[in-house]
Amino acid sequence: MKIAELARRTGFSKHALRYYERIGLLPRVTRDGARHRDYDPSIVAWLGFLRRLKTTGMPVREMRRYAALRSGGPETIAARRAMLEAHRCRVHTDIAELQACLVILDTKIAGYAGDSQGMTDHDVSNDRDGDPIRAGLAKPRGDRRARG
Amino acid sequence: MKIAELARRTGFSKHALRYYERIGLLPRVTRDGARHRDYDPSIVAWLGFLRRLKTTGMPVREMRRYAALRSGGPETIAARRAMLEAHRCRVHTDIAELQACLVILDTKIAGYAGDSQGMTDHDVSNDRDGDPIRAGLAKPRGDRRARG
DNA sequence: CCTTGACTTCGAGTGCGCTCGAACAGCTAG
DNA sequence: CTAGCTGTTCGAGCGCACTCGAAGTCAAGG
């Protein structure tokens, strides 16, 4: 499979695919006669998995570590599992945090009066902003970014 | 309230607080005799809310838009609510996506044999990687990043 | 008077994860 | 032969969200 096809099938750009190879996320790619990359179809599944890791916020350096372990053969299985378990735990935490924020968001939206008919001056309580339940702030632990 | 105290109470760094002010996330700050920032306590709630938005992946430029609307008075309430509703919708999507990934992750981890006693060679099925259920890939829609 | 320490402004630097473009190579069709 | 397409390498550049450090100001304490 050529790079354009792989890009199409995985949703990664050709540039990103070469970049991933450079940094060691993808294994040694075979080349055809013209020294063009000729991917094994199994790479699609691996990239699919990488996308899951990425979606769940795993930093690239950690994916690299995982990829390195993977290419290290069966003796790295325990380490790989440990990584995934740790990651799963973080994802759980992230989801919980997101859900907590959703509640706040809902409250805030509800505070902006009921529907499009209202919106009179006496309803400006939301200009106070902040968390109507408790202004919980705490430390910066986990953040989330990017949409595109 | 001085900047150090605000930083302590919100978990943002002093540098970040000045940065937020520069880019318009924080309203006009009053100064004391020494031209030092002297924050109104209400800023704490606002920063708390900003942190929620940040945690839920709202980009800074969008927060700026929200902040600008906020300083535009009651006539912007409808627009603000619309922004929050759109954002809430994206957060819902993100959570769903995360949860879907979590299922995959669980399956994958389960594939790495039961417990620490096993781990023999015949269990290397996970070297195939990818999604054991279906190698769903799709386009890049929403990503998540950063951890502290 | 001098030090200490918290503050100020400013612009430059950082880390991440790509993204882009230039310059070039090789295959295929017309 | 030439055009057009896809691919190649390389290094530079970008957008984001800060982060840092230098150089200076000010008030209080010893």
CB under 8 Å to A138, separation ≥6 — which residues?
B11
Q: Kindly state the helix (H) or strand (E) to which residue A117 belongs, with its residue range.
A: none
Q: What does each C-alpha distance from A26 to A19, A76, B17 come to in angstroms? A: 9, 17, 40
Q: What is the mean pLDDT of residues B103-127?
A: 68
Better pLDDT: B96 or A122: B96
**Distance CA A1 to C1' C29 in A:** 23
Secondary structure class of A37 (helix, strand, coil) = strand
Q: Taking CB atoms and an 8 Å cutoff, what residues of chain B touch A106?
A: 88
The closest alpha carbon to B90, from B82, B48, B17, belongs to: B82
Interchain contact, A95 vs B99, CB within 8 Å: yes
Judge whether residue A61 contacts strand C, using its CB and a 7 Å cut-off.
yes
Judge whether residue A7 contacts strand C, using its CB and a 7 Å cut-off.
no
Nucleotides of D under 7 A from a protein CB: 6-10, 16-21, 25-27
- In the predicted structure, residue B129 carries a pLDDT above the cut 80: no
Structural tokens at position A11: 């949703």
Question: What tens digit of pLDDT does each residue of A90-133 get?
Answer: 999 999 999 999 999 999 999 987 655 444 444 444 656 765 55
**A123 close to A113: Cβ distance less than 8 angstroms:** yes
Distance CA B62, CA A45 (A): 35
Residues 60-99, chain A, touching B (beta carbon < 8 A): 70, 74, 77-78, 80-81, 84-85, 87-88, 90-92, 94-95, 97-99
Better pLDDT: B123 or B21: B21
Q: Taking CB atoms and an 8 Å cutoff, what residues of chain A touch B96?
A: none
Distance CA A81, CA B109 (A): 6
Question: What tens digit of pLDDT does each residue of A4-21 get?
Answer: 999 999 999 999 999 999
Q: Can you state the angle between helices B77-111 and B60-70, rounded to 10 degrees?
A: 150
Distance CA B16, CA A144 (A): 17
Residue with CA nearest C1' of nucleotide D7:
A36
Distance CA B59, CA B57 (A): 6
- Given this model, what pLDDT does residue B143 score? 61
* Residue in A closest to B123 by C-alpha: A74
pTM of the predicted structure, to 2 decimals: 0.87
Question: What tens digit of pLDDT does each residue of B32-43 get?
Answer: 999 999 999 999
Size of the A and B interface in Cβ pairs below 8 Å: 223
